[in-house]
Amino acid sequence: MLIIGSHVGYKKDTGLVGSVMEALSYKANTFMFYTGAPQNTIRSNIDLENVSKAGALMMENGIDKNKVIVHAPYIINLANGDPSKFNFSCNFLSEELKRVNTFGMKYLVLHPGSHVGLGVEEGISNIVKALNIVLSKDDSDVMILLETMAGKGSEVGRSFEEIKAIIDGVSKKDRIGVCLDTCHLNDAGYDLNNFDEVLNSFDKIIGINKIKCVHVNDSKNIIASHKDRHENIGKGTIGLDTLIKVIDNPKLKDVPKILETPYIDGIAPYKEEIALIRKEVNKQ
C-alpha cells in the first residue's frame, strides 16, 4: 500500500492532534512534523493526554505511528566543530530524540550538517563524533535518518559516499538510517530518470534497507545545480513521470513518502498533490 503524506504543522495549542487532523484533511496516511519551529529551539512541553488522543485518532484512520516522521530543526549543525556550537547541537539533538520517543515515533530526519569551510573530511569527523556522543547517552529505539543533501554551500551528505562515511564511523549503526530527498538528489547530480541505477548504486554503497523515508519534491533547478529549491509535483525539472517511478518503486514499497513542496498562494498543495499521485500510481 502507498504510504504518503506531507509536512504538516505542529502548534502548541492543538499539539499532535492538530498535526494528525491536518494530515487527514489531505487524505494522507502518514505525515511529517517539526516539534516546534524548524529555525529555532523554542519547544513547548508535550501534553501526554494530547499524544494519546492523537494515537487513537491515527489508529482509527489507518495511520501507522511507526511510519510517521519527525524532522529535526535546521539549527542543529553537527559538522561545525566550534565547541559552543557543537555542544549546543549535541544537546539539542539529545533532547529532540527524547521528544520523538515521547511522541511514540520511530524516525527523526536530520540534515547531516554544513562544514562551514572546515572541509568535508573534518565535517564528517565532527558529525560522527556528535552522533556517537548523542547515541551513547540515548537508549530509545528512535532512528536518526540522515537526509541526502543538495550540496548547497558547504552541506555534507551530498553523495551516498559521504553518508556511508558517516555511518561507518557510528558505533550504534542500527540507530542510523537514510532519508532520500528527490529534489536534493537531483540538485546533487543524481539522474532520477535512471532511478533504478541510482537505487542500485545506493544499495552497493550503503544498503537499500537503510532507506526509511523518501521526501518527494520536484526541483526548480536542473540536475547538479546544488541549489535546493523545491517545486510542486510535476512542475519542476524532475517531472511527474519520474517522481511516480520513485514513489511506485517496488523496492521502496513500505517506505513512507513525504511531500515538502511549496505552498501555492499561501495554500498547502498537499491534498491535490496526494490525489494526483494516487491517481497516477493506480494507473501503473
Q: Which lies closer to Zn ion via its Cβ, residue 228 or residue 273?
A: 228
**Crossing angle for the helix pair 83-103 and 48-60, to the nearest 10 degrees:** 60
Contacts of 205 (CB under 8 A, 6+ apart): 160, 161, 164
| Helices and strands of the chain, counted as H and E runs | 9, 12
Alpha-carbon span 9 to 182, nearest angstrom: 22
* CB-nearest residue to Zn ion: 228
Footprint on residues 148-207 left by Fe ion (CB under 5 A)? 181
Residue 228 interface partner, choices Zn ion, Fe ion, none, CB cut-off 5-8 Å depending on type: Zn ion
Is residue 228 a contact point for Zn ion (CB under 5 A)? yes
Taking the complex as a whole, the smallest distance from the CB of residue 185 to Zn ion amounts, in Å, to 11
Taking the complex as a whole, the smallest distance from the CB of residue 28 to Fe ion amounts, in Å, to 16
Is residue 273 a contact point for Fe ion (CB under 5 A)? no
Alpha-carbon span 187 to 148, nearest angstrom: 10
C-alpha pair distances (Å), 114 with each of 90, 171, 258:
15, 22, 23
Taking the complex as a whole, the smallest distance from the CB of residue 181 to Fe ion amounts, in Å, to 4
Comparing CA positions, the residue from 222, 205, 139 lying closest to residue 166 is 205
41 by DSSP, 3-state: which? coil
Residue 175 interface partner, choices Zn ion, Fe ion, none, CB cut-off 5-8 Å depending on type: none
Q: Return the range that interacts with Fe ion (CB under 5 A); candidates 7-15, 28-36, 214-222, 238-246.
A: 214-222
Q: Which lies closer to Zn ion via its Cβ, residue 96 or residue 155?
A: 155
Q: Which lies closer to Zn ion via its Cβ, residue 162 or residue 228?
A: 228
Taking the complex as a whole, the smallest distance from the CB of residue 230 to Zn ion amounts, in Å, to 6
Alpha-carbon span 276 to 278, nearest angstrom: 6
Taking the complex as a whole, the smallest distance from the CB of residue 213 to Fe ion amounts, in Å, to 9
The region, left, alpha or beta by phi > 0 then psi within -120 to 50, assigned to residue 42 is beta
Is residue 155 a contact point for Zn ion (CB under 5 A)? no
Q: Which lies closer to Fe ion via its Cβ, residue 26 or residue 34?
A: 34
Q: Which lies closer to Fe ion via its Cβ, residue 61 or residue 249?
A: 249
Comparing CA positions, the residue from 91, 228, 88, 86 lying closest to residue 151 is 228
Give the DSSP per-residue string, 116-168: TTS-HHHHHHHHHHHHHHHHHT--S-PEEEEEP----TTEE-SSHHHHHHHHH
Is residue 215 a contact point for Fe ion (CB under 5 A)? yes
String marking each residue 97-116 x if it binds Fe ion according to CB under 5 A: --------------------
Residues that bind Zn ion (CB under 5 A): 228
Give residues in contact with Fe ion (CB under 5 A).
Answer: 147, 181, 215
